[in-house]
Amino acid sequence: MTAHAEPLPRRLAAEGLGSLLLAATVVGSGIMAERLSGGNAAVALLANTGATVAALGTLIALLGPLSGAHFNPAVSVIEALRGRLAWGDAAAYVVLQVAGCCAGALLAHLMFELPIWQASAHARTGPAQWLAEGVATFGLLLVVLGHRRSEDAPWMVAAWIGAAYWFTASTSFANPAITIARSLTNTFSGIRPGDMPAFILAQFVGALAALAAARALFPVKKAKAPPTDIKCIVEHTATEKAEALDV
């Protein structure tokens, strides 16, 4: 889920579109789930979880080769801190992620014939929920930073978010852009605007903690210096050829 060598406009388009579709899924599936669940919150959350997991995994697989499929300011900031993404690019990513997520929430309202502009009245606050957001974001970033193969990122990230919907008290926002977007919808997935800053702070704290943990758990191996002596170079080349033939 790191940035790739695509032109910046194409990467930004991927981040904006992916963020829009992800937020539309989160908000839209919440609306549908609430309408069909007959007041059963557990059934509604299960439906919301399933749709989010499916969409997230698909979007990462689809757009990851273009932009890294961050869709999340916490991911982009951590990648910039690691030197894997230029700070100017990271800032542009964040703008498109927030704009895309907000647009996705409004799109969900349009699809379900609801008032486009809303402010959530859904209270989500308190130390337990702030801790939950930190834990959810910590786990998400640990997966992003620690997965071994790029093809594993879609299912691992989606699986973590799906699990965290259920084992965290906050139902795992784990994304500042999504948090902002969810403050714009007074539906199942909403959060009061006044509760939003504490969630975002907890998310960045969790992300920074994951960066520290990843550096300890997954140290970057330094490449061996190439040999300079002629004899060593010949022996090194012969060894590489032999290893290639064995493979």
Q: What is the tens place of the pLDDT at every residue in 23-32?
A: 999 999 999 9
State both tokens at 67: 């932009």
Q: What is the CATH number of the domain that holds 54?
A: 1.20.1080.10
Instruction: Give me the domain span that covers residue 181.
Output: 8-246
In a domain, 1, yes or no: no
Q: How far is CA 212 from CA 68, 82, 138, 216, 217, in A?
A: 21, 11, 10, 7, 9
Look at residue 247 in the predicted model and tell me its pLDDT: 41
In a domain, 177, yes or no: yes
Find out whether 120 and 186 touch, Cβ atoms under 8 Å. Answer: yes
Smallest Cα–Cα separation from 140: which of 107, 121, 108, 162? 162
In a domain, 231, yes or no: yes
What would the pLDDT profile of 224-246 be if each residue is shown by its tens digit? 555 555 544 455 555 555 555 45
In a domain, 3, yes or no: no
In a domain, 2, yes or no: no
- In the block, tokens 């981040």 appear at 15
Look at residue 233 in the predicted model and tell me its pLDDT: 46
In a domain, 46, yes or no: yes
d(C-alpha 12, C-alpha 4), whole Å: 12
Q: How many domains does the chain have?
A: 1
The DSSP element (H or E) to which 200 belongs, if any, is: helix 196-217
In a domain, 80, yes or no: yes
